[in-house]
C-alpha cells in the first residue's frame, strides 16, 4: 500500500519491515470495523442466497469505494492514480484473505461447503473488511512531526473539496450501516414503529449530524468543516443526511431487506438505519480523516 508521493517521482521499493507494518495496520483496521459482521448469521445467509451478479456488483462497488477513499482520504492529492488503483486492488485482496481465514477458523467454511457458498460468504464479508483495511492502513499509523505538519497544510488547503468530502462521508456511512443492516432487528423496528416516531428518528439523525460536524469540536474537525455560516451548516447537515439515507437504502437492498415488503416498510427501514448511517457519515467521516 503505497505512501503519498509526488506523481512524477519514481516508485521506490519499500523495506520488508515497513510493508509488514502496513499490512499489520490494515488487518487490524479491517477486523476493527468488520468483526461484528464476521460473526453475524444474516451475513452468512446473504452470501448463500445472493445472486452471483449481485455478489459481483458488491465486489465492484467495494472497489469503487476503495478508489474513492484512497484518492480523497486525507486529501493526499500528490498520489498518482496508478498507486490508487493498485493499492485498492491490494486492499481488496487482503480483505478477501482475512475474510476466508476468519470464516474457516469459526467453522463457517468447511470441506462440506460448496464453492459458490464459500465465495459468496467471503465476498460479502470482504467488502467491509477491505474498507477497514484501507482506513487502518491510512489512519492507524504514526507520522513524523514534519510529515504531519505538511499533511495538515495540504488538508487545510483542500478542506472545501466537495467531491472528496462526499466520498469520505459515503464510506463512513457504509461502514456503520453494514454492521446493522443484515440484522432482523431493523425490519422489526421498522414494522413496529409509528410514523411519528420515524419522523422523530429522522429529526434526531439530522440534529446529530449537524452537531457532530459543526458543534462537537472533534479532534481537528475544523480542518474539514471550516465554514460556519448558517446556510453552510444547514446545507452540510442536509447533504450528510441524504448521503446516509442513500447508503442505507443501498446496503438494505443488497442484504435483501426490501424483498417482500411494501413501500412504507422499506422507507421505514431506511429511516431506522439512517440513524447509524448518519453517525458514520458525520462522526465516521471525521474519524477516518483525522
d(CA 46, CA 181): 11
Q: Residue 149 — pLDDT band, cuts 50, 70, 90?
A: low
**Domains held by the chain: number:** 2
Read off the C-alpha cell for 156: 487545510
Q: Residue 150 — pLDDT band, cuts 50, 70, 90?
A: low
How big is the chain by its Cα radius of gyration, in Å?
Answer: 19
Cα maximum dimension of the chain: 60
Per the structure, the complete domain to which residue 287 belongs is given by 159-290
Mean pLDDT of 178-188: 87
Q: Is 104 found in the same domain as 73? A: yes
Specify burial of residue 244 (Cβ count, 10 A radius: 0-12, 13-18, 19+). buried
Q: Is 193 found in the same domain as 146? A: no
d(CA 202, CA 139): 31
Q: Is 278 found in the same domain as 227? A: yes
Q: Is 118 found in the same domain as 60? A: yes
Q: Is 43 found in the same domain as 179? A: no
Q: What is the pTM of this model?
A: 0.71
d(CA 160, CA 227): 9
d(CA 251, CA 177): 7
Angle at 33 between CA 274 and CA 25, to 5 degrees: 145
Q: Is 182 found in the same domain as 232? A: yes
Q: Is 126 found in the same domain as 7? A: yes
175 or 285, which is more confident?
A: 175
pLDDT per residue over 7-38, tens digit each? 444 455 667 677 777 778 788 878 877 888 88
CB atoms inside a 10 Å sphere around CB 107: 8
Amino acid at each position: 500500500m503505497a505512501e503519498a508521493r509526488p506523481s512524477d517521482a519514481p516508485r521506490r521499493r519499500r523495506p520488508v519491515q515497513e510493508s509488514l507494518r502496513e499490512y499489520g495496520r490494515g488487518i487490524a483496521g479491517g477486523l476493527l470495523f468488520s468483526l461484528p459482521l464476521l460473526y453475524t448469521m444474516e451475513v452468512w445467509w446473504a452470501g448463500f442466497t445472493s445472486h452471483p451478479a449481485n455478489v459481483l456488483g458488491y465486489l465492484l462497488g467495494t472497489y469503487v469505494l476503495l478508489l474513492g477513499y484512497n484518492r480523497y482520504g486525507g486529501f493526499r492529492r500528490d498520489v498518482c492514480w496508478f498507486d490508487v488503483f493498485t493499492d485498492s486492488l491490494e486492499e481488496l485482496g487482503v480483505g478477501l484473505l482475512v475474510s476466508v481465514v476468519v470464516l474457516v477458523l469459526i467453522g463457517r467454511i468447511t470441506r462440506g461447503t460448496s464453492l459458490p457458498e464459500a465465495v459468496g460468504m467471503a465476498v460479502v464479508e470482504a467488502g467491509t473488511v477491505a474498507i477497514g483495511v484501507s482506513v487502518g492502513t491510512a489512519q492507524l499509523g504514526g507520522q513524523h512531526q514534519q510529515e504531519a505538519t505538511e499533511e495538515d497544510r495540504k488538508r487545510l488547503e483542500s478542506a472545501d473539496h466537495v467531491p472528496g468530502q462526499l466520498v469520505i462521508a459515503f464510506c463512513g456511512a457504509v461502514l456503520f450501516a453494514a454492521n446493522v443492516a443484515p440484522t432482523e432487528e431493523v425490519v422489526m423496528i421498522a414494522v413496529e414503529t409509528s410514523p411519528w416516531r420515524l419522523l422523530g428518528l429522522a429529526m434526531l439523525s439530522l440534529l446529530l449530524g449537524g452537531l457532530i460536524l459543526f458543534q462537537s469540536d472533534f479532534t481537528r474537525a475544523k480542518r474539514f468543516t471550516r465554514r460556519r455560516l448558517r446556510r453552510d451548516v444547514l446545507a452540510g447537515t442536509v447533504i450528510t443526511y441524504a448521503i446516509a439515507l442513500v447508503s442505507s437504502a443501498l446496503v438494505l437492498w443488497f442484504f435483501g431487506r426490501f424483498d417482500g415488503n411494501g413501500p412504507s416498510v422499506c422507507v421505514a427501514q431506511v429511516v431506522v438505519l439512517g440513524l447509524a448511517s448518519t453517525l458514520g457519515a458525520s462522526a465516521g467521516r471525521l474519524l477516518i480523516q483525522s
